[in-house]
Amino acid sequence: MARRAIWRVGQPEEAGRSRVTHLDRDHALVDAARVDPARFEALYRKYLAQVYSYAYYELGDHHDAEDATERTFVAALTNLGRFEERARPADGHGASTFRVWLFRIARNVVADRHRARSRRPETQLEAAEVLTVDPDLAGGVARREEARDAWQAVARLPGDRRRAVVLRFVDEMTTAEIAGVLGRSEGAVRVLIHRALRAVARDLGENRR
């Protein structure tokens, strides 16, 4: 059963005057977009880079990432009526369940793209070469090679470990938010990230030798 969308705070004796608060930091923007769909633009601008980054790290191709980003936002806009705020006090200040919901859509869109690619083989997705390092990266050739090594180490991680690392380091999500996106418990997400870091450390250590 879905949790209550809102939580009451305040003293019980303030019956009838208890304050009602929404924990989702995007609550006001979501409400505005529900009343007037044109105001969805604020949410779009806010999360564009995050969704695009997630799609790019997953797909390794700018065109595919753009396509996935477009599908994600169009699906979010047309299904906004189905979104239900489920932030919990345990999610902490600034928890955004809209962001979790949006990234669940992105995850499904990217998974669809993966399936399409497996039916019609193109580039090897998991291959590290698909991630190209930004040539403008400051610090010269050595710095770019270091960055490429790190990207390749992440690209070699298996599915959910890679996603958890990208959501943690690139999109700066909390463990609770990542758990919501991946449909796992917070403990499972902590273990995923810990093991991913161990693998990346091993990988980078071997590259150094």
Partner 1 sequence: MTAGARDGGEIEALVTDRYLESLLAGGLGGSPAAGLAGLPGRRLSPDIGRAAARLRGDLPRLHPSFRFEERLAQRLAEVAAGLRLPAAAGGEGIVVPFGSPAGAGAGGGDPTAAFLFDAPLDERQDRVRPLLIGGALTSAALSLAGAAYVAWRRTRPPTTPMARAVRAVSRGRPA
Interface with partner 1 (CB under 8 A), residue from 31, 132, 201, 206: 201
- Under the binding rule (CB under 8 A), the answer on residue 77 touching partner 1 is yes
Which of these ranges, 6-14, 70-78, 103-111, 114-122, lies near partner 1 under the rule CB under 8 A? 70-78
CB neighbours of 14 closer than 8 A, spacing ≥ 6?
none
Query: Contact at 8 Å (CB) between 109 and 71?
Result: yes
CA distance 132 to 67: 18
Which of these ranges, 10-18, 20-28, 113-121, 162-170, lies near partner 1 under the rule CB under 8 A? 162-170
CA distance 136 to 114: 29
- Under the binding rule (CB under 8 A), the answer on residue 157 touching partner 1 is no
Q: What angle do CA 76, 78, 81 make, to 5 degrees?
A: 85
Could you tell me the maximum CA-CA distance found in the chain, to the nearest angstrom? 68
- Under the binding rule (CB under 8 A), the answer on residue 65 touching partner 1 is yes
- Under the binding rule (CB under 8 A), the answer on residue 8 touching partner 1 is no
- Under the binding rule (CB under 8 A), the answer on residue 38 touching partner 1 is yes
Please state the closest distance from residue 170 (CB atom) to partner 1, in A: 5
- Under the binding rule (CB under 8 A), the answer on residue 125 touching partner 1 is no
How many other C-beta atoms lie within 10 A of the C-beta of residue 60?
A: 21
Which of these ranges, 3-11, 96-104, 116-124, 169-177, lies near partner 1 under the rule CB under 8 A? 169-177
| Paired tokens of 75 | 């699906």
- Under the binding rule (CB under 8 A), the answer on residue 171 touching partner 1 is yes
Which of these ranges, 8-16, 99-107, 111-119, 148-156, lies near partner 1 under the rule CB under 8 A? 148-156
User: If DSSP codes are grouped into helix, strand and coil, which group holds residue 9?
Assistant: strand
